């Protein structure tokens, strides 16, 4: 599998198109996104055009360089890119291969000359892969970025925190939302409102299809995430062999039977075998599987299996407790009911003392 760097740019509906491009890359069957930079705003080059939003992603792929460039052209077309003779014309999205392993091929334009010429490529590239040695330059990406002129480059607020997991949130403070988010989804919501007897054009719900489409993209954002992308490089060598536990991880998911929420807390523990994981990644692993259509039993198993796959620890224990609105709002309507599931792997299953220690640590939290 090869490692590649891809630059993204948009100055047409940029608040929508840049996150949509990241989502499209994540959903591509032959591309695995492993890192995403912050978003930067830069002036357009070569004309009096709107400013750009720019970002860089690092991916792993089995595609050959030419095949990857072709795949990116397909994604551009799907996002509304129309190529014209004016190479500086405004565009919905621009996706370019910046680096591909140690390839130096001028015919393919790899490395992308823009990396050395423009800070809007070099600076975000340095954020995600500063130690990558640029073929033919004998310099790292970070060294090239240090030499780049950056007075007109501005980091977009909130992007650093939100684009990596929830790209749609990175632009909340950029004024009113675009008129549409996902036209097909919005049309389906509008039809639902009509079936329910509502007037989808009345004040108060005329924007409901847009809001529902956007919220569903967030609530099911786990479908566009991979375990490898979430864990990234946050695994570290460690001689520690005592239990590591993170309690009270809030999670929100949706029942796959009725599409109603269930929510609660997760308690996750593992016993290292030479390696530990960044503590925040435990919460992110819970989130990436919770933000899907789920049943709680499977969710617990997926979190446990993900930790086993990522760390190969001596054992993993997961306990999840949740209230299910499909039982509270409808059906049996048992208002005080909670569901508890557990998933045990390795020594948590085979060693009674380890299992007892884990359950005792969790036990006082259960209600």
Is 123 a member of any domain?
A: yes
What is the structure's pLDDT at 4? Answer: 97
Indicate if 294 belongs to the active site.
Answer: no
Tell me if 178 is assigned to some domain: no
Give yes or no for a contact between 113 and 144, defined as CB atoms under 8 angstroms apart.
Answer: no
pLDDT band at 308 (very low <50, low <70, confident <90, very high): very high
Residues 131 and 208 in one domain: no
- What CATH number did the domain enclosing 261 receive? 3.30.1130.10
What DSSP string runs through 284-316? Answer: HHHHHHHSSEE-HHHHHHHHHHHHHHHH--SEE
- The pLDDT tens digits for 237-292 are 999 889 999 999 999 999 999 999 999 999 999 999 999 999 999 999 999 999 99
* DSSP states along 108-155: TTBS-THHHH-HHHHHHHHHHHTTPEETTTTEEHHHHHHHS--TT-EE
Domain with 188 in it? 183-219
Known catalytic membership, residue 64: no
Out of 146, 166, 326, 338, pick the active-site residue.
326
149 has a pLDDT exceeding 70: no
pLDDT at 55 over 70: yes
pLDDT in tens, 4-13: 999 999 998 8
Residue pair 53/18 in contact (Cβ under 8 Å)? The answer is yes
Q: Is residue 162 located within the same domain as residue 239? A: no
CA separation for the pair 110, 25 (Å, rounded): 19
Copy the structure tokens of residue 2. Answer: 């090869």
User: Mapping DSSP to helix (H, G, I), strand (E, B) and coil, where does residue 233 land?
Assistant: coil
Does residue 122 have a pLDDT over 90?
A: yes
pLDDT tops 70 at residue 162: no
Percent of the chain scoring above 90 in pLDDT:
61
Residue 247 maps to a domain: yes
- Asked if 205 and 241 sit in the same domain, the reply is no
N residues, the chain: 367
Q: 156 and 193: one domain?
A: no
85 and 135 in a single domain? The answer is yes
Q: In sequence order, which ranges of the chain are alpha helices (DSSP H)?
A: 14-27, 65-78, 114-117, 119-129, 141-147, 159-162, 183-195, 208-219, 227-231, 279-290, 296-311, 325-328, 347-350, 352-363
Structural contact between residues 55 and 17, judged by C-beta atoms closer than 8 angstroms: no
Residue 178, preceding bond cis, omega within 30 degrees? no
Q: Find how far residue 168's CA is from the centre of its chain.
A: 10
* Annotated catalytic residue 255: yes
Do residue 41 and residue 73 come from a single domain? yes
Contact 252, 263 (CB under 8 A): yes
pLDDT at 160: 38
Q: pLDDT at residue 46 above 70?
A: yes
Note the pTM of the prediction, 2 decimals.
0.61
Percent share of the chain, pLDDT over 70: 91
Say yes or no: 25 and 116 in one domain. yes
Catalytic residue flag (residue 38):
no
Contact of 19 with 171, CB cutoff 8 Å: yes
The residues with which 252 forms a beta bridge, in sequence order, are: 263
Closest CA to 228 of 301, 164, 141: 164
Q: Looking at the domain assignment, is residue 176 inside a domain?
A: no
Residue 202 lies in a domain: yes
Same domain, 232 and 214: no
Identify whether 177 is part of a domain. no
**Domain co-membership, 153 together with 28:** yes
Same domain, 197 and 261: no
Q: 194, 206, 257, 365: which one is catalytic? A: 257
The answer to whether residue 58 is domain-embedded is: yes
DSSP string, 329-352: TSTT--TT--EEEEEEEEHHHH-H
pLDDT at residue 154, as a whole number: 86
Given 28, 38, 76, 324, the catalytic residue: 324
28 in catalytic set: no
Q: Does one domain contain both 196 and 265?
A: no
Long-range contacts of 348-356 (CB under 8 A, 24+ apart): 348/269, 348/271, 348/315, 348/316, 348/317, 349/315, 350/315, 351/315, 354/243, 354/271, 354/315, 355/317
Active-site residue, selected from the candidate residues 256, 297, 309, 365: 256
Tell me, yes or no, whether 131 and 243 share the same domain.
no
Is residue 30, in this structure, part of any structural domain at all? yes
Q: Of the residues 41, 60, 166, 258, which is catalytic?
A: 258
Choice between 345 and 38, residue whose per-residue pLDDT is larger: 345
> Number of folded domains in the chain?
3
Which residue among 186, 296, 321, 357 is the active-site one? 296
Q: Which two tokens stand for residue 182?
A: 């996902």
Tell me the pLDDT of the chain averaged across its residues.
Answer: 87
Per-residue model confidence (pLDDT) at position 157? 64
Catalytic residue, chosen from 15, 127, 225, 255, is 255
Q: What is the mean pLDDT of residues 54-61?
A: 94
Residue 86: give its domain's CATH number: 3.30.70.560
């Amino acid at each position: 599998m090869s490692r590649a760097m891809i630059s993204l740019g948009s100055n047409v509906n940029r608040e929508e198109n840049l996150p949509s491009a990241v989502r499209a890359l994540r959903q591509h069957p032959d591309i695995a996104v492993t890192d995403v930079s912050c978003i930067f705003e830069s002036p357009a080059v070569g004309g009096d055009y709107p400013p750009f939003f720019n970002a860089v992603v690092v991916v792993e792929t089995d595609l050959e360089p030419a095949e990857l460039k072709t795949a990116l052209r397909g994604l551009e077309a799907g996002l509304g890119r129309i190529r014209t003779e004016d190479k500086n014309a405004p565009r919905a999205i621009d996706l370019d291969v910046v680096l591909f392993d140690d390839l130096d091929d001028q015919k393919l334009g790899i490395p992308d000359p823009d990396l050395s010429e423009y800070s809007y490529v070099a600076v975000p590239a340095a954020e995600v892969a500063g130690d990558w040695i640029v073929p033919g330059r004998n310099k790292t990406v970070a060294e090239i970025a240090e030499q780049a002129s950056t007075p007109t480059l501005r980091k977009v607020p909130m992007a650093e925190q939100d684009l990596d997991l929830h790209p749609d949130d990175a632009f909340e403070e950029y004024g009113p939302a675009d008129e549409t988010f996902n036209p097909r989804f919005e049309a389906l919501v509008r039809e639902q409102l009509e079936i329910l007897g509502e007037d989808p054009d009345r004040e108060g719900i005329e924007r409901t299809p847009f809001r529902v489409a956007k919220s569903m993209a967030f609530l099911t954002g786990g479908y566009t995430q991979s375990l490898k992308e979430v864990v990234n490089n946050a695994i570290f060598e460690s001689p520690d062999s005592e239990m590591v536990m993170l309690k009270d991880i809030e999670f929100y998911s949706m029942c796959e039977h009725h599409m109603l929420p269930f929510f609660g807390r997760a308690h996750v523990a593992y016993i290292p075998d030479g390696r530990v994981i960044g503590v925040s990644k435990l919460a992110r692993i819970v989130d990436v599987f919770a933000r899907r259509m789920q049943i709680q039993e499977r969710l617990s198993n997926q979190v446990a299996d993900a930790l086993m796959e990522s760390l190969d620890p001596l054992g993993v224990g997961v306990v999840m407790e949740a209230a299910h609105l499909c039982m509270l709002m409808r059906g049996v309507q048992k208002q005080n009911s909670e569901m508890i599931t557990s998933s045990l792997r390795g020594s948590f299953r085979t060693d009674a003392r380890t299992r007892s220690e884990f359950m005792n640590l969790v036990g006082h939290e259960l209600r």
